[in-house]
Structure 1
Amino acid sequence: MSLIGEERKNYILNQLNLEGKVTTNDLVTKLKVSSETIRKYLEELEEENKLKRVYGGAVKINLSREEPSHLKREVIHAEEKRRIGRAAAALVEDNDIIFIDDGTTTLHMIDYLLNKKNITVLTVSVPVLHLLIDYNNKMIFSGDIFFIGGKVNAAHSRVAGSVAEKMVESFYADKAFISIDGIMMDKGITGFDEERGRMAGKMMEHSKQSIVLTDQSKFGLMQFYKIADLNEVDCIVSDVAVPKQWKDYLGIKDVNWIHAK
């Protein structure tokens, strides 16, 4: 295939990664080629297992319909998560009260909170709890720790359910740090699990600021449970700069974007 053909296919894949779907009519307009040419590109990309053709266009292949265990999640995109965690921790100020959810990305914040003074951390994450207790015993973390109690999900090392949600309702925080499993401009932020999604929503409701942590692999994905619309999010911290196709939309919604370098 010619270079220009490969460039067009790359454009299609980039749109899929951002929006989760493309339509033949839109691609004809954007790429200024015939619908037959677009169908040919979509067929070739489907043969390469890079998309799934549907009536009128194509959708992104979503291989992750089930949430991986906590141990598996820890090693996926580990370097990107470390950078995101460091950038998110920089948003925490002395004397802040913060919610930290059970994500492996938010877990990476902990090492960068040790120099903060008089902070209070509320969490449902067992690994976050263990790490904070360890640092507290070593006298390198001096803040207060609140563990949200309730039903324990052993596979994902977290607490969830109605008892935990009720406990969250007893607190108000300055910031909530939330990890997600999917993000689309028109669908908002989503997660695999309904209980976890409800918990994230409660944390956001009870915080002055809601901060989402996500690497680019979540772009264009829509998972089972809707956590919130984007107008409920104050800031997104990611391993890449804001996609230019999203910039205006996020500006309208007043969502700040931080590129974790």
Structure 2
Amino acid sequence: MRSPYNKSSRCERGNGRLSLASEARKETIMTLLNERGKVIAGELSTLFEVSTETIRRDLEELERESKLKKVYGGAVKFKPEAEPPLLEREAVHVEAKRTIGQLAAGLVEDNDVIIVDEGSTALQIVHCLEGKQNLTILTNSVPVLMLIIEFQKRGTFDGKLVFIGGEVSAKHLRVSGPIAEKVLEDFYVNKSFVSVDGVSLKYGITSYDYEKAVFTRQMVRNSETAIVVADFSKIDKRTVAKITDLPEIQQIVSDREPPPEWKAALKKMAVTWIYPEYTSASETE
């Protein structure tokens, strides 16, 4: 049976089939996908005269670049994800976020000046800060603000609290935008705990929201130590708005160790990855 994909006219043909290098093959896959909305791995294997394993690798690479979504037997067009509301985010990967919160809180020392970003993972850090002495905490998160106020009422928070003003998002319970950026310009901190939606060696750290990304980028720049907090679902993922490149980050706190193929690159960039089994010896492995 004739393949339904033989319409492509930009490719050289050999014996009625296509013979392409990897990048050109992926470009043609995207052309076919845009025309038809779906591609089948077996048919692509026949079309390009390569193994189905090669096609799966092509599709995986295109998926990592957010160009398509793999499904059983092939792939469909990529539909950009939308950032879920905060209440929905708080209900997923709960144990992973608690683990990250404990690890990140362990990096906070008495007398530190820190920024705690908005987000369900960053919020977990604050639960572990009771008992720290003489902290100054800046935040753009309404839940972080309310939790620290509760600690103040109980007498378990010793320090100062600064809420960064600006445009409030009721959906995400956070502040961002030009006013918030202007307020942040006047502060320099020891450590910032940064929430992200994606962490990628190639694309850096990213967010779903452009205004949030711009605010967080400034947070990183105004910190002696910028610390990303990200559970396993954010790793090797790219979203729409770039915050900054990985070399601008000093530490990443996660619930799992980094992918093995990342370790050499992280070491070269001087980015420390902290996870539950982390020790200083881990970086030399």
Whether the TM-score (by the shorter chain) exceeds 0.5 is yes
Unaligned runs of 5+ in 1: 1-21, 26-33, 54-60
Deviations 1:85-114 (A, max 9, x none): 110010000100000110110000011111
1:219 aligns to 2:219 (yes or no): no
SS in 2 for 1:245: helix
- Normalised by the size of structure 1, how large is the TM-score? 0.80
1:92 to 1:64, Cα distance in 2 relative to 1, 3 A: farther
1:260 is displaced (CA, Å) by 3.2
2: CA distance, partners of 1:193 / 1:43: 28
SS in 1 for 2:127: helix
SS in 1 for 2:199: strand
Partner of residue 145, structure 1: 161
Partner of residue 51, structure 2: 36
1:40 to 1:152, Cα distance in 2 relative to 1, 3 A: closer
Kindly indicate whether the alpha-carbon contact (under 8 Å) linking 2:145 and 2:163 is maintained by their aligned counterparts in 1: yes
1:179 aligns to 2:215 (yes or no): no
2: CA distance, partners of 1:167 / 1:115: 28
Partner of residue 102, structure 2: 86
1:151-166 pair list within 5 angstroms: 151-166=167-182
1: CA distance, partners of 2:263 / 2:59: 30
> Of 72, 79, 85, which residue of structure 2 is paired with 1:48?
72
**Identical residues among aligned pairs (%):** 40
Partner of residue 6, structure 2: none
Kindly indicate whether the alpha-carbon contact (under 8 Å) linking 1:150 and 1:163 is maintained by their aligned counterparts in 2: yes
1:63 to 1:112, Cα distance in 2 relative to 1, 3 A: farther
SS in 2 for 1:35: coil
SS in 2 for 1:137: helix
Deviations 1:15-63 (A, max 9, x none): xxxxxxx9789xxxxxxxx9324256569994427x737xxxxxxx977
Kindly indicate whether the alpha-carbon contact (under 8 Å) linking 1:66 and 1:192 is maintained by their aligned counterparts in 2: yes
Kindly indicate whether the alpha-carbon contact (under 8 Å) linking 2:176 and 2:211 is maintained by their aligned counterparts in 1: yes
1:72 is displaced (CA, Å) by 0.4
Kindly indicate whether the alpha-carbon contact (under 8 Å) linking 2:250 and 2:272 is maintained by their aligned counterparts in 1: yes
Deviations 1:186-237 (A, max 9, x none): 1100000011111111111111000000011112221111001000000000
Kindly indicate whether the alpha-carbon contact (under 8 Å) linking 1:62 and 1:221 is maintained by their aligned counterparts in 2: no
In the alignment of these two chains, the number of paired residues is 224
Kindly indicate whether the alpha-carbon contact (under 8 Å) linking 2:213 and 2:241 is maintained by their aligned counterparts in 1: yes
> Of 241, 250, 264, which residue of structure 2 is paired with 1:234?
250
1:99 aligns to 2:122 (yes or no): no
For the aligned residue pairs, the C-alpha RMSD in angstroms reads: 2.4
Partner of residue 36, structure 2: none
Paired letter, 2:119: G
Paired letter, 1:194: Y
2: CA distance, partners of 1:195 / 1:52: 32
1:47 to 1:235, Cα distance in 2 relative to 1, 3 A: closer
Partner of residue 110, structure 1: 126
Unaligned runs of 5+ in 2: 1-21, 27-48, 61-69, 278-285
1:93 to 1:137, Cα distance in 2 relative to 1, 3 A: same
> Of 269, 273, 276, which residue of structure 2 is paired with 1:253?
269
1:133 aligns to 2:157 (yes or no): no
- Normalised by the size of structure 2, how large is the TM-score? 0.73
2: CA distance, partners of 1:167 / 1:94: 24
Larger Rg: 2
